[in-house]
């Protein structure tokens, strides 16, 4: 699987998520600048690749490409965490152990990012491997 195929599959999975309106999701390097909504939840998708490695040898070398999907989930500071936790749980359920062809997502973890510049956030991290 190429890195572009991995990116396309993971981005497609995020587009298929119905727990948050698409205009509230910041995708990497888009032609227009994303502006966080003035109220409510929003999220940012990040795909982080790790070092590829040879996983086997048949008629040609087989490469495995691991990485992590990190989805930052945001709410305004001082608005509570209930809705934010529900969003993070829904994203975890949507991505964890999902598979498409040679791409498989593994376990999901949630990491509290705390407050920064008027927002409180939780990161949903899902390991993946392709190939």
Q: Are strands 42-49 and 25-26 parallel, antiparallel or unpaired?
A: parallel
Residues facing residue 76 across a β-bridge? 119
Closest by alpha carbon to 50, among 32, 33, 66? 66
- Biggest CA–CA distance in the chain, Å, is 58
Average pLDDT of the residues of the chain: 96
pLDDT digits (tens, 9 = 90+) for 29-64: 999 999 999 999 999 999 999 999 998 888 888 899
pLDDT digits (tens, 9 = 90+) for 115-130: 999 999 999 999 999 9
Encoded tokens for 9 = 């599959």
* CATH number for domain 3-130, candidates 3.20.20.140, 3.40.50.740, 3.50.50.60, 3.30.2000.20: 3.30.2000.20
CB 95 within 8 A of CB 128: no
């Amino acid at each position: 699987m190429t890195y572009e195929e991995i990116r396309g599959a993971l981005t497609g999975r995020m587009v298929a998520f119905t727990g948050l309106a698409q205009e509230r999701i910041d995708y990497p390097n888009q032609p227009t600048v994303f502006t966080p909504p003035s109220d409510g939840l929003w999220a940012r998708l990040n795909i982080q690749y790790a070092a590829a490695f040879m996983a086997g040898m048949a008629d040609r070398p087989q490469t495995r490409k691991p990485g992590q999907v990190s989805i930052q989930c945001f709410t305004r500071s001082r608005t509570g965490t209930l809705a934010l936790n529900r969003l993070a749980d829904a994203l975890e359920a949507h991505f964890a152990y999902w598979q498409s062809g040679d791409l498989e997502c593994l376990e999901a973890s949630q990491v509290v990012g705390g407050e920064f510049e008027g927002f409180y956030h939780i990161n949903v991290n899902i390991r993946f491997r392709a190939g």
